[in-house]
A and B are shown apart, each in its own frame.
Chain A
Amino acid sequence: MQYNKKLWRIYVAVVILIVAFTFSPLIIKPEKVEPSVMGLPFTLWTTILTTIVLVVVTYLGGRVSPNDEEESK
């Protein structure tokens, strides 16, 4: 897992964009229920998706984030 400054910064930007997107009126619009997916109301399924993306970006970010420790075998 090598530190890759450029990729790491891209992931940080992606996370900031996801947070901004989730808190925008596009997602947390009052009383917006449709379109629903498998019965889940709009704000719920979209924020479940954005949460999953955050965790995936954490996995990817972990591979390129700063690493200044000797690994213990």
Chain B
Amino acid sequence: MTTWVIIMFAVFLGLLVLASVKSYKKNRTSQEFMLAGSSLGVFLGFMTFSAALFSAFTFQGMPDFFRQHGIGAWIFLAFSDGAMVFFILWFGQKIRKKAREKGFKGVAGLVTDIYGTKWAGYLLFLSAFIFLIPYAAIQIRGISVFFDAVFPAFLPRWGWSLILVSIMILYAEIGGFKAMVYSDAIQGTILLTVLWLIAITCIIKLGGVQSMFDQVAQTDVKLLSTPGPKGLFNWQFLLGSLIAVMMIPVTQPQMTTRLVVMKNLTSMKKMAYSVGIFAILVILATVFIGMYGAVKYPEASAQKFWAGALLYDQFHPVAGLAVVGLFAACLSTTNSQIFALGNELRSLLPGQEKKVMYITKTFLFVFSILVMIFASLMGDQIALLARVSFTGTAMMAPVILAGVIMKQKPGKELIAVSLIALFVFLGSVAGIVPDKIGMLQIDILLYIFTFGTTVISVFLRSHK
């Protein structure tokens, strides 16, 4: 298998070098470096959006989620993605309109202009910083656990993290956003191919789809319905996830930016349903891998399940491609998140172009180091950690949504609402605030609070 890993890596790294050479241009402006000149067509736009969305969290987290909590994981992510792509039709048009009116460097900069106060931008940057660093760290964590399983005792986990982060920094600093878009296209293709190769092997090994689900029923019939064996997928969890996922294009700056940099609105709309098709295909493959794990590795740790189902139970070329696929997924998603943070910072910086570019590049480096530190501290519950990131950034939705909906300046009270929601949610993650009040989960309550106040504020100010 090691030979195949080396061969696949050589091909992949060759493609990356090609992409960065093609993207490298001397004396780029920060706008060219960070936003690729805002001219993405349908194919590259769809691939870069999908690759930023589907990562180690999808590759490793989703099969493990299906294995442990059952088929409700489909509603958690795939159904929610279906709703999200429809929402993009409306939100994408609104944010692009505002971006045309105000100019676009980043979401934080845009809301600063819309609200007429830097506090709106600072709040958005703070939320992106708090939740994107751990989200990016999930990817690094995933890949280091995986490599540790493939090459046991060859390097400590932090050593794998260091290698990945180094490649990431080098690639991002040389190629910029354009290189990332190319690597996303490569990653998306590998991800879809390798997940289905693995899924088909899993189906064949268990004697077909019917036989696979019969065997899952014998292992634990609760995996075949909601809320699953541990009761995770209750309606509140699923509804909270639906809202959090629908808000990804609004509140995760790496995704918002990808809507704005599309060549035109028609391309963006085509990109939206293409992402929906991609989501169905990718997540369907993870259903079969997860069900395979439920039969073959019901009690194993996440690490043992990943090593077994994704590598050792596969044909060697597929296992080699799986290692490269996961590496590529980590690279593109982490890069997009780090880059988004850099871009948000850039959009808040005043001053000369050269100085802004220098500070942004320095902070790309600093963010990468922070990601590496976090990766060595966190646990293996990848899918649940990703949900925390989606939910946390979703608390910023009032600021952005009111900003793009309203023709006039939105009320500053919405900044306070989002800030309160952010701190309450952080309190619940830290265990200071209860995660349930009465019958309702805290995230549902916070959505009622934030969206309710947004509707009231927008209504009152629009009818003044």
Contacts and interface: CB of A to CB of B under 8 A. Distances in A.
B209 A40 contact: yes
A40 B210 CA distance: 7
Contacts of A44: 71, 74, 224, 287
Given A28-B72, A54-B79, A40 B90 contact: no
B426 interface: no
A41 B225 contact: yes
B273 A59 contact: yes
Contacts of A42: 225
B149 interface: no
Interface stretch (B29-37, B262-270, B380-388, B453-461): B262-270
A16 B448 CA distance: 17
B342 to A, nearest CB: 27
B266 A71 contact: yes
A55 B83 CA distance: 8
Contact of B83 (A15, A36, A59): A15
Interface string B73-116: 01100110111011011100100110010000000000000000
A65 B90 contact: yes
Contacts of A68: 93, 97, 265
Interface residues of A, number: 40
Interface stretch (B181-189, B212-220, B293-301, B369-377): B212-220
Interface string A24-59: 000011111100101111111001101110110111
B280 A71 contact: no
Contacts of A28: 72, 75, 226, 233, 235, 238
B272 interface: yes
A71 B239 CA distance: 37
A47 B279 CA distance: 14
A48 B79 CA distance: 8
Contacts of B78: 47-48, 51
Contacts of B86: 11, 15, 54, 57-58, 61
B227 interface: yes
Contact of A67 (B209, B235, B263, B265): B265
Contacts of A48: 74, 78, 280, 284
A13 to B, nearest CB: 12
B89 to A, nearest CB: 5
A39 B82 contact: no
A38 B269 contact: no
Contacts of B222: 31
Contact of A69 (B72, B79, B96): B96
A18 B75 CA distance: 12
Interface in B395-437: none
A50 B74 CA distance: 11
17 contacts: A15-B86, A39-B208, A40-B213, A41-B224, A41-B225, A43-B75, A44-B71, A47-B75, A47-B78, A51-B81, A58-B82, A58-B85, A58-B89, A58-B276, A67-B93, A69-B96, A71-B264
Given A58-B273, A65-B93, A66-B90, 8 more contacts: A22-B75, A31-B222, A33-B221, A43-B75, A47-B79, A55-B273, A55-B280, A69-B266
Interface of B: 71-72, 74-75, 78-79, 81-83, 85-86, 88-90, 93, 96-97, 100, 208-214, 217, 221-222, 224-227, 233, 235, 238-239, 242, 263-266, 269-270, 272-273, 276-277, 280, 284, 287
